[in-house]
Structure 1
Amino acid sequence: MLFSPPEKIKKLIDAQYNILDNAHTHLQEIWVDNVLFTFGWWTSLLLSIIPWILWFIFRNKESSTRLLLGGLWAMFISTWLDYVGVTMGLWRYYNKLVPLMPDYIPWDFGLMPVTVMFFLQIKANVNPLIKAFVFAGMTAFLGEPLFLKLGYTKYPGWNPIFSFPIFIVIYLIAHFLVNSKATKPLR
């Protein structure tokens, strides 16, 4: 094939994928035997569901679609960044809800997007930079250290202070998406 790498490279890559497949199999076995249905697992399940229930009850119903756009952005980028961080060995999770994903579902699919959506809707006229700093401060300096203290995560190559500017950017982009005049109704 014209664009196919040489066989030597394919064999090297296949060998690494085999190592990854074996590691994932062992992690799944550990998860089934030691994590599934533990207190940490149940807590992770509740942290995945309760934020959405609260959002559904307390959301600004007239702005639900726009808020979901901001929440979807936060969910997408936090999941992607989590994947990168776990893959690079910067952090790891011990009470995963599902063993097949490298990210922490309660954080990326529950806490992060719902918190962003609440911040967007509460005091909507406050300067977004101020809200971004408050959101980033709470998330990086309260949320992350709490999960570290509870033993849900470990940071062998990361410090929550590195997260602070990332959370500011996540919030500001969500704010821009939710408040953009660029979206017009479909005709």
Structure 2
Amino acid sequence: MKPIQDPEKLRKIGEFYDKIVETHYDYFQYWLHHTWFHWDFWISFALTVLPWALWIKFRKKDSTDRQLFVAFFVILISSWLDFIGTCYGLWYYTGKVIPTIPVYIPWDFCLLPVFLLFLLQFKPNSPAVIKALGFACVCSFAGEPFFQWLGFYVMKKWSVCYSFPIYFVIFLAAYKLSKRSSFSAI
């Protein structure tokens, strides 16, 4: 079937994707020899597995589905924002568990959502704004600098101060989702 798109446009965009594929291959080769089973891989692996193991053990069991819904939302938003930031050269990562560009799995898929879930569960009647401030402070001013210190997170055109309002809004949106009571059977 012949596409209706301009053939020259298809060719040119194909060239861009070929460069991306080549870059991914080169990165995979580097990761395989310099990260796979090295100390930074094992730290990232532990930071991927331990948060979820702790959540499984200490979660409020009767709200598991609701918590997973909120976690999925946080994962979706954080990984999408991470993708945008990395693609525009604002930061990059080293020491990855999986050699993908750009997402850092331990942060976007594990630490961030699990920390948020524990905050939602802890003192559930506390003001959301106070928890959001705490979440944003810990993530921006402790988490990001810690990962910088490890050398896993390299900021190029970014500041932890820019991250603070983003984490604040993510928490408030997740909090609002966690309080929804309009779910019904499909």
Q: How far apart are the structure 2 equivalents of 1:170 and 1:156? A: 23
Question: In the alignment, which residue of structure 1 is the partner of 2:102?
Answer: 102
Residue equivalent to 1:53 = 53
TM-score by length of 2: 0.95
User: What is the match of residue 133 of structure 2?
Assistant: 133
Unaligned runs of 5+ in 1: none
Residue number in structure 2 paired with 1:36: 36
What is the letter of the counterpart of residue 175 of structure 2? H
Q: Which whole-Å CA distance do the structure 2 matches of 1:168 and 1:183 have between them?
A: 25
In the alignment, the residues of structure 2 paired with residue 163 and residue 17 of structure 1 have an alpha-carbon distance, to the nearest angstrom, of 30
Unpaired runs of 5+ in structure 2? none
Determine if contact 1:67/1:121 at 8 Å carries over to the other structure. Answer: no
Identical aligned pairs, as a percentage?
37
Q: State the TM-score, normalizing by the size of structure 1.
A: 0.94
Range that drifts further, 125-134 or 63-72: 63-72
Q: Deviations over 1:92-123 (max 9, x none)?
A: 11111111342000011110110010010001
* Offset from partner CA, 1:141-185 (integer Å, 9 cap, x none): 10001101110010111111111111111111111111112223x
Instruction: Give the superposition deviation at 1:3.
Output: 7.0
Q: 1:4 deviation in Å?
A: 3.1
Moved more, 94-103 or 4-13: 4-13
Query: RMSD between aligned alpha carbons?
Result: 1.5
Q: Deviations over 1:5-50 (max 9, x none)?
A: 3222222211111111111111000000101001000000000000
Cα separation, 1, equivalents of 2:167 and 2:4: 39
How far apart are 1:51 and its partner, in Å? 0.4
Q: Secondary structure at the match of 1:9?
A: helix
Distance change (3 Å), C-alpha of 1:23 and 1:2: closer
